[in-house]
Amino acid sequence: MNIGISFNFSALIFSLLVAAVYFYKPRIASMENKIYKGLLLVSIFGCIIGVPTYFLVKSYPEMNFLTFLIPRVYLCYILSWVFLMTQYVLIISSSTNEKKVYQKSFKIFFPLYLIISFIIMILPMEYHNENGAVFTSGPNVIFTYIVSAFHILYWFISLIINYKVFKTKKCIPIISVFVLGTIMAIIQGIDPSIRLMTPMISFITMIMYFTIENPDLKLIKELNIAKEQAEKANKAKTDFLSSMSHEIRTPLNAIDGFSQLILEEEDIKVIKEEARDIMNASQNLLEIVNGILDISKIEANKLEIIDVLYEPEKVFADLVKLTKARIGEKSLEFRVNIAEDLPDYLNGDYVRLKQIAVNLLTNAVKYTKKGYISLNVSVVKKDDICRLIISVKDSGIGIKKENINKLFTKFERFDIEKNMTIEGTGLGLAITKKLVELMNGKIVVDSTYGKGSNFTVAIDQKIVNKTKVVPAKVEVVKKINIKNKKVLIVDDNLINLKVAARLLSTYKVKTEEVSSGFDCLKKIEEGNTYDLILMDDMMPKLSGVETFKKLKKTPGFDIPVVALTANAITGMKENYLKIGFNDYISKPIDKKELERVLKKFLNSK
């Protein structure tokens, strides 16, 4: 077989392979791809008709319909490829919108292409067999070459003008045409029977497969998803900030307003009333901050479930008391039904369990104007597992069907206009759901808009056999008698110093206050003695932890040091204890906590 025909066959196989890979892989919708698709199909078509052209001309020296048609179609194939390449050059060398350039050039070139193809079809053509090599010649062959030469000249000029294209790999197919075209001309000059036009066109088309921009679409898709997620997270953070600043402002407004009023008020009764309002607002503020802490802990996977032994009956009794306080003056009936077969002792995280129920009960109170709210606790026991089924029902405003799915998403609040006067952050249910999940439980909602809602939580807890319970050391409630004991308070914030000192003064404790770790060290170095040191951590230059470590190195130092800090995220308490602090109190100071610490360290002395 003629060497040219072998090349032709190989080109056909390779072109088919490239086409299979190209069409299988997802592509971007670019003009380059559009043109490349055309080039690929045209080059396959050329390989297919190149073979019969050769054999026909060789086997049928006399003109017939096929020998008339096929060689002309072959010329049209060359022309199609050249026209498509011109489109490609136009696109890569233009700096404006590719699509517009393509559409404009298509409008001009396509009719031109049709006219030229028509001329090729009607112009006369000759072919002859010379020493086994077949040659086609005649006006249409010359015409095709002239048209192609003009196109190639245009590519050349275009690339020279837009020389920047040389810096990109996009010019490689065009340069290949020049280089391979020259090589082909030399080879065919030596042996005209070697037909290389079709393989050359296929080869250049194959090269182009590697030069057209086809980024990995899968990667792009993944990147886009990641980008969307990042944008969503960013938006959530912005929403969070605006939501928080609003929520924080509300209690702050009350604290600020009532404080101003107290300063001008003489009547002690009114002052007490307003102080109570300040306390409520502070409590509210603390709840917001705790909510933020909880959600950030949950999101950072830092929230731990700490299982301890507890008495469920006491927990639910506490819940009832709390809810009654929440209902306050509101004319709501509170229906309570707690299972009588509740085990005496359970093992689980009762603090979080309580938080879940409090969130649901608080919402029921908040979103119910009249009627009732109910707390229903039932149990299902199996072996040593007790499933607590806590159901909180209300006859309140209810939730629209379309909002049920969004209910557990943070910052989602519904019927904003209707609920304008009801405080909330939209964090409660998001936290509740996460807590339930962390405790391997389930939460379901059933709500009818305008009629009421029913939230049911099911959580498994371990039953602890009463007989197994080691009776807890009954702490003898010591009467607090710490009068005249000496406490050193270390805090860089003057207000915090004042608050701590004032709270301690109610126990008739003597206090000294210093506003830095350095001053604390100085006091000890000077030989002052104390019964207890309350130490803030986040102080400039010398932190509480650093001060503590230095204190520990002081010979003979044995004063108990308690961390008193606003650094209240999960694990912090354990951290401070690990460092060696004797105990930990979080700010704002809970009076009960302070009393516990005072009893622990001062009473015994």
- Cβ closer to ligand ADP: 93 or 454? 454
Q: What's the burial of 444, exposed, middle or buried (CB within 10 Å: 0-12/13-18/19+)?
A: exposed
The dihedrals phi and psi of 85, each to the nearest 5 degrees, come to -65, -35
- Cβ closer to ligand ADP: 425 or 461? 425
Q: State the amino acid at position 603 in one-letter form.
A: N
Please, what is the minimum distance in Å from the beta carbon of residue 452 to ligand ADP? Answer: 7
Please, what is the minimum distance in Å from the beta carbon of residue 391 to ligand ADP? Answer: 12
Instruction: Tell me the C-alpha distance between 351 and 358, whole Å.
Output: 10
Please, what is the minimum distance in Å from the beta carbon of residue 477 to ligand ADP? Answer: 37
Please, what is the minimum distance in Å from the beta carbon of residue 430 to ligand ADP? Answer: 6
- Cβ closer to ligand ADP: 174 or 357? 357
Please, what is the minimum distance in Å from the beta carbon of residue 373 to ligand ADP? Answer: 8
- Cβ closer to ligand ADP: 139 or 424? 424
- Cβ closer to ligand ADP: 313 or 415? 415
- Cβ closer to ligand ADP: 451 or 552? 451
- Cβ closer to ligand ADP: 6 or 250? 250
Q: Report the 3 state secondary structure along 281-329.
A: HHHHHHHHHHHHHHHHHHHCCCCCCCCEEECHHHHHHHHHHHHHHHHCC
Instruction: Tell me the C-alpha distance between 298 and 304, whole Å.
Output: 9
The dihedrals phi and psi of 267, each to the nearest 5 degrees, come to -70, 115
Please, what is the minimum distance in Å from the beta carbon of residue 243 to ligand ADP? Answer: 10
Burial string for 127-143 (b: 16+ CB within 10 Å, else e) reads beeeeeebebeeebbeb
- Cβ closer to ligand ADP: 364 or 514? 364
**3-class SS at 537?**
coil
Please, what is the minimum distance in Å from the beta carbon of residue 312 to ligand ADP? Answer: 23
Strand partners, 137: 126
Q: Report the 3 state secondary structure along 51-85.
A: HHHHHHHHHCCCCCHHHHHHHHHHHHHHHHHHHHH
Please, what is the minimum distance in Å from the beta carbon of residue 354 to ligand ADP? Answer: 16
Please, what is the minimum distance in Å from the beta carbon of residue 549 to ligand ADP? Answer: 42
Enumerate binding residues for ligand ADP (CB under 6 A): 363-364, 367, 394, 396-399, 407, 412-415, 419, 424-430, 453
- Cβ closer to ligand ADP: 98 or 412? 412
DSSP assignment letter at 227:
H
Please, what is the minimum distance in Å from the beta carbon of residue 254 to ligand ADP? Answer: 17
From 2, 22, 3, 9, select the one nearest 205 (Cα to Cα): 22
The dihedrals phi and psi of 579, each to the nearest 5 degrees, come to -65, -30
Instruction: Tell me the C-alpha distance between 409 and 399, whole Å.
Output: 14
Instruction: Tell me the C-alpha distance between 478 and 418, whole Å.
Output: 51
Residue with tokens 């607002």: 281
Pairing of strands 561-565, 583-586: parallel
Q: State the amino acid at position 171 in one-letter form.
A: C
Instruction: Tell me the C-alpha distance between 85 and 288, whole Å.
Output: 66
- Cβ closer to ligand ADP: 360 or 524? 360
